[in-house]
Chain A
Amino acid sequence: MKKTYVPYILLAPAVCLVLAFMVYPIGNVFYLSLRHYNPTKPWINGFAGFGNFVDILSDKDFWNALKVSVKWVISEVLLQLVFGMLIALILNQKFKGRGIFRALTFIPWAMSGVLTAVLWSLIYNQSVGLLNNILTKTGLIKSPNAWLANSGLVFGSVVTAELWRGIPFFAISLLAAMQSIPEELYEAANVDGSSKWKSFLYITLPSLKETIILTTLLRSVWEFNSVDLIYSLTGGGPVGKTTTLSILIANHATKTSNYGYGSAISVISFLILAIFAMIYLKASRFGTEE
């Protein structure tokens, strides 16, 4: 095969970056998780062993946040995948003006999380928001809704805002991956009288398998850790209905200086994601076609 030292040379820059900038900070997180540490409360500082973890696992806020996180990740990734795939399929076809539509589809991705939140909070505003205005004018609802305050509506509202922002990720990744599917395959299938749906199932999907697995995994991790949008829209409320684990971490580690506790939650979050990733990769038999 190849000379055996080549891969190591190729990986050298990556390894350097990780050694220089990741080892100490990540190690620090694990270290702090075993300590009580809050610079503004010097009297609690000291070794904690697994004390933080015990506290966290017996805190009902933690389990609530975990539940919300799971709900959040599943709904976001699934919805974004489905819509993203749909758009990618359409934009893969040749038609006039597809360039413009491709550029348009990309736009929500270009907005930062905080900006998206400010924008959508304006849209969802009960009194002067666009959504209520349109819906009441067209008679679809009778009175304005409190999209971000009503316990029944808030989760869906936040999911929609993030969905708006996240679809382009899948649309573009899948579109790019579709480019390496040779057209001849489709032509051959067409000649054989295959329907569009069959072509999709038997040609498109299998070729995209690796990309789909990767993108859903990466996106799941991303959504699990996503804070900006939710925080700016609802602050995790009302009453913890939209408090994900990442928001809990933000509250404990950055809003207040409870670094020991915040690090411990980060470690738990890390373990959850690591286990999830390993199971996911094994179950999807990733890399078996290499």
Chain B
Amino acid sequence: MKTKLSDKIFRRWLPLVLINIFVLIPIWWTLVTSLKQEGDILKKPVRYIPDPATLENYMRAWVNCRFDRYFFNSMRIAVVSVFFIVVIAIITGYALSRFQFQGKNGFMLMLLCIQFIPHAVLLIPLFQIFNTMGLIGKPLSVILVCITFQFPFNSILIRGFIGGIPYTLEEAAQIDGCSWLMAVWKVVIPMLIPGIVTTAAFAFIGVWNEFLFSMMFLNDANNYTIPIGLKMMQGEYNISYGALAAGAIIAMSIPVALFAYLQKYLVTGMGAGAVKG
């Protein structure tokens, strides 16, 4: 399908470039700040190119501020949480999309409603629950909280995606001799890939940037995550903007890299053997 040049410019490149400028300027500014010496950041006149440029902020963040350790902790919590969030979102979303059963609407409403309560007021009772379970101080408590808070949103999202996949495809596969489970695995999952990628991306970010419960449940700096590390750069009487910026770049690098790799799965027709109709 050939597109005219004027179409290309006005419908694609111009808006794309404009929007990307809006998106990227703050990021570029963070990068510039991270490369400036600490004392230069607040100086006037405002410098657009760091001069001298330095990597000391990155060294400080990684070594002194122990970002190497926090990075590992964040990864560990994120990978485990996201796996379970996606799995639970898929089975919950599938149940809500494909079945009619008693309590379905109530359950969906409940999933929606539990997102209405701000986390801050749930903090103390949740702390008490985990304390009784002996999990305070252990990363597992953070993982469980993340899963609990993230799966309703993602279940509803997946439900929507599954809704867009015609049930006739599953039926056809079953007629072909597959069991119900096999039909789902062969038909629904491949076509759900864009939905799974989206869910995983959102869940990952939600967990990666989670601060409140990590802060409150963890008691050992060796278990701290990146958001906690970043907060510690804002001290009582000092804010290390440079180290903060460097830490932010480090923190962003993983989700962005992950998404850069996964975005290729956001394509039409990922279904192997999709039946037209």
Contact = CB atoms under 8 A, between A and B. Distances in A.
**Chain A–chain B contact at Cβ < 8 A:** yes
Interface of A: 1-2, 4, 6-8, 10-11, 13-14, 17-18, 20-22, 24-26, 28-29, 83, 86-87, 90, 93, 95, 99-115, 118-120, 122-123, 127-130, 133, 164, 167, 169, 172-173, 175-184, 187, 190, 196, 207, 210-211, 214-215, 217-218, 221-222, 225, 227, 246, 249-250, 253-254, 259, 262-263, 266, 269-270, 273-274, 277-278, 290
Nearest to B202: A169
A157 B32 CA distance: 22
10 pairs of A and B residues whose beta carbons are closest in the complex: A112-B209, A103-B260, A10-B95, A25-B125, A110-B255, A176-B194, A7-B99, A176-B198, A180-B164, A25-B122
Nearest to A266: B121
A123 B29 CA distance: 8
Interface centre among B24, B111, B125 (most CB of A within 10 A): B125
A103 B44 contact: no
Nearest to A106: B259
9 contacts: A10-B91, A87-B19, A95-B12, A105-B20, A112-B227, A179-B194, A215-B157, A221-B116, A269-B118
B118 A103 contact: no
Interface string B168-180: 0000000000001
A65 to B, nearest CB: 13
Nearest to B274: A182
A11 B95 contact: yes
B94 A90 contact: no
Contacts of B163: 210, 290
Given A266-B117, A277-B112, A211 B122 contact: no
A86 B231 CA distance: 35
Contacts of A102: 259-260, 263, 266
A112 B211 contact: yes
A90 B116 contact: no
A8 B102 CA distance: 10
Chain A interface main SS type? helix
Contacts of A175: 194, 266
Interface of B: 1, 8, 11-12, 15-16, 19-20, 22-27, 29-30, 33, 42-44, 46, 88, 91-92, 94-95, 97-101, 104, 107, 109-118, 120-126, 129, 144-145, 147-148, 151, 153, 155-157, 159-161, 163-165, 180, 191, 194-195, 197-198, 201-202, 205, 208-209, 211, 227, 230-231, 234, 239, 241, 244, 248, 251-252, 255-256, 259-260, 263-264, 266-270, 276
B20 to A, nearest CB: 6
Contacts of B94: 10
B266 to A, nearest CB: 6
Given A6-B99, A164-B26, A182-B276, 18 more contacts: A93-B12, A103-B263, A107-B27, A109-B205, A111-B248, A112-B251, A114-B227, A114-B231, A120-B26, A172-B202, A178-B268, A179-B266, A179-B268, A179-B269, A183-B268, A214-B156, A270-B116, A274-B116
